[in-house]
Amino acid sequence: MRRCPHTFCEPVWRYRQQLLSPLPAIRAWLFDNGSLTRRLQHACDGEFRVEVVAQEWQRPLLNERRRLALPARRLALVRQVYLYCDDVPCVFARTIMPRQTLSGAERHLAVLGNRPLGALLFADPRMHREPLEFTRLQSGERLFAEAVQRLASPPPAIWGRRSVFYLAAKPLLVNEIFLPGIEKL
């Protein structure tokens, strides 16, 4: 595993067929193409909830800009949430929404609050999702630091995935980082 000398390291994303073994115990969660919200709601015996930790207009990370083909100085609405089962944070999600995506019928994505994004995405029959990409985030990386901010004792590395969703042919990039709490579900 490469070392990341500073917080500006960008994740290296790989498609499933490029991943090396051994695959993680959470691979059923990682590789599930359905709604993560719905899977968590079914797996959680307690109370499932979404908690928004930040939502603001900012320049996406370099790897995010490249994946969405956004110009260098273009801002996007960045939504960061935790998906909880009771008081355990199970997933950290960071969604990048370009300005042109938040137009027309999709403008309500900017005012979701604590409603799960997935409920809207998977309810839309026209929704298209591109293939999942995967990465192993480690201490020192910016996305790792964002994801573990609510963890009392972060692990040395965590698995993440991302995919681009299209609603009415307009893209949004969803990063989902799997936290140790999910292994208890």
Ligand X SMILES: C=C(O[C@@H]1C=C(C(=O)O)C=C[C@H]1O)C(=O)O
Site membership for ligand X, residue 9 (CB under 6 A): no
Going by their DSSP bridges, the two strands 48-58 and 157-167 should be labelled as unpaired
Q: Is 117 annotated as a binding residue?
A: yes
Options 116, 160, 171, 181; binder of ligand X; rule CB under 6 A: 116
**Half-sphere exposure of 163 toward its Cβ, with a 13 Å CA cutoff?**
19
DSSP 33: -
Binding segment toward ligand X, per CB under 6 A, in 19-27, 55-63, 100-108, 113-121: 113-121
Interface residues for ligand X in 134-173 (CB under 6 A)? none
Cα 65 to its chain centre, rounded Å, is: 15
Binding segment toward ligand X, per CB under 6 A, in 7-15, 70-78, 114-122, 132-140: 114-122
Site residue total, ligand X (CB under 6 A): 16
Site membership for ligand X, residue 182 (CB under 6 A): no
Site membership for ligand X, residue 101 (CB under 6 A): no
The DSSP bridge partners found for residue 129 are: 165
Options 121, 132, 137, 167; binder of ligand X; rule CB under 6 A: 121
**Half-sphere exposure of 48 toward its Cβ, with a 13 Å CA cutoff?**
16
Q: Which is nearer to ligand X, 4 or 120 (CB)?
A: 120
**Half-sphere exposure of 112 toward its Cβ, with a 13 Å CA cutoff?**
26
Please report which helix (H) or strand (E) contains residue 91, including its range: strand 88-98
Options 174, 177, 179, 182; binder of ligand X; rule CB under 6 A: 174
Q: Is 162 annotated as a binding residue?
A: no
- Residue identified by tokens 């292994």 is 183
Distances from the Cα of 129 to the Cαs of 95, 122, 180, in angstroms? Answer: 14, 10, 26
Please, are residues 81 and 52 in contact by the beta-carbon 8 Å criterion? yes
Site membership for ligand X, residue 117 (CB under 6 A): yes
Q: Which is nearer to ligand X, 19 or 119 (CB)?
A: 119
Residues that bind ligand X (CB under 6 A): 35-37, 50, 79, 81, 83, 91, 93, 95, 116-118, 121, 174, 176
